[in-house]
Amino acid sequence: MPKLPIMPNLDLSPLGLSGPRPAEIVTLPSHMDCHEHQYSQVVIGLKGQAEFEVSGKGNLVGPGQGCVVTACSDHAFGGVVGQSDILVLNMPMPSNDDPLMLEKINQLASSNVYFQLDGQIQKLIQMLVQEMQASPDDLLLSRACNDTVIALLQRHISEFETSIKESRFDLEALDRYIEQHLANKISVAQLAGSVFLGESQFHMLFKEQMGITPHQYVLGKRIDRARRLIEQGNLSLGQVAELAGFSGQSAFTHTFSRLQGMSPSQYKKQITVK
C-alpha cells in the first residue's frame, strides 16, 4: 500500500480535542514554516496565494488549487502576498473495517502532488466553507465537509505543472536571509524555510549545489563579516565577535584562527601595518 498523504502540522487541533478537526479553515503565516506529522491531509486554496515545497517539488497554490503530501516527507509552506487562506482536510488513518475511506486515501496517495479543481466542486467547496465560517464550532459540519469533499475530489481534479525549480534553491534569497540574521544563531531549519524547503531536502540540495554543509557556509559568512569589521578599525574584537554572530570572543578567536591561520588580533595588527 502506498504511503498516505499528509500535509504540514499547522497546529489545527481545536481546544479540548486530542486530534485535528476533520476540516478547518486556516490562515497561513506570512513567513515560511516546515514540519511533518503522522496523519493524512489534503489542502485546498481558498484566498490569496501560498507557496508550498513538497518533496523537492514547489508550486504556488491559489483558489481552486490544492496539494497532497506523502507521509513523513519534508515540506514547507507560507503565504506569499496578503492573507492566504486554505481549507485543510485531515484524515487520520482509518481502520481496516472502513474499506471505502481506505480506497479514497489510496487514490489520493497515487495522485500528483498538486491538482486543479474544476468549477463544479469549487462551487460546492465555497458553499461548505461559508457554512463552516458561520458555525466554526460545529464538529458534525466539519466532518460532513471532510467526507463530502474527499468522496468527490478524485472525479473533479486535474494535474497542473509545478512552477518552481525542483532541483535547486535560490542562493540569492538564502544569502539575503543569512546577511539579515548573521548576528544571531541560525539553524538549518531556518535556512531551509527561507527558500521554501524542508530541512533534509535543503541539506541534501545544498551539499550537491555548494559542495559544503550549510553550517560551513554560514561560518564562512561570519568570518567574512568579522574581517570586514576588523578592517574598519573602529570596533573592539569583542564587538566584532558579537556582530558576526559568535557566542563569545573565545569562540570567535578559536574559529578565526583555525580558518584564517592567524588570530583576530594578529589580523588587526596586519591591517594596521598596511
Q: Three-state secondary structure along 9-31?
A: CCCCCCCCCCCCCCEEEEECCCC
pLDDT 10s digits, 221-269: 999 999 999 999 899 999 999 999 999 999 999 999 999 999 999 999 8
Q: How far apart are CA 244 and CA 226, in angstroms?
A: 6
Q: Are 207 and 190 spatial neighbours (Cβ–Cβ below 8 Å)?
A: no
How many structural domains compose the chain? Answer: 2
54 plus 127 within the same structural domain: yes
Task: Answer yes or no: do 33 and 152 share one domain.
Answer: yes
End-to-end CA distance of the chain: 69
* 35: confidence class by pLDDT, cuts 50, 70, 90: low
- Which residue type is seen at 35? H
Q: Are residues 178 and 78 in the same domain?
A: no
Grid cell digits, residue 229: 569589521
Determine the pLDDT at residue 29.
77
- Alpha-carbon span 130 to 252, nearest angstrom: 57
Domain membership of residue 50 (yes or no) is yes
Residue 193: pLDDT band (50, 70, 90) is confident
Residue 15 lies in a domain: no
Which helix H or strand E contains 100, and what residues bound it? Answer: helix 99-109
Main-chain dihedrals φ then ψ at residue 146, nearest 5 degrees:
-60, -50
199 lies in which domain range? Answer: 171-273
At residue 39, does pLDDT exceed 60? Answer: yes
Predicted local distance difference test score (pLDDT) of residue 220: 93
Domain boundary among 127, 159, 191: 159
Interacting residues of 190 by C-beta distance below 8 A, sequence separation 6+? 177, 181
Residue 164 in this model has a pLDDT that exceeds 80 = no
pLDDT computed for residue 224 by the predictor: 94
Same domain, 102 and 219: no
Confirm whether 6 is domain-assigned. no
Average of pLDDT values for 131-146?
93
Mean of pLDDT over the chain: 79
Together in a domain, 176 and 255: yes
Q: What span, in angstroms and rounded, lies between the C-alpha atoms of 66 and 211?
A: 35
Query: Is 183 found in the same domain as 215?
Result: yes
d(CA 74, CA 109): 16
CATH number at residue 265: 1.10.10.60
The domain boundary, picked from 159, 185, 219, lies at 159
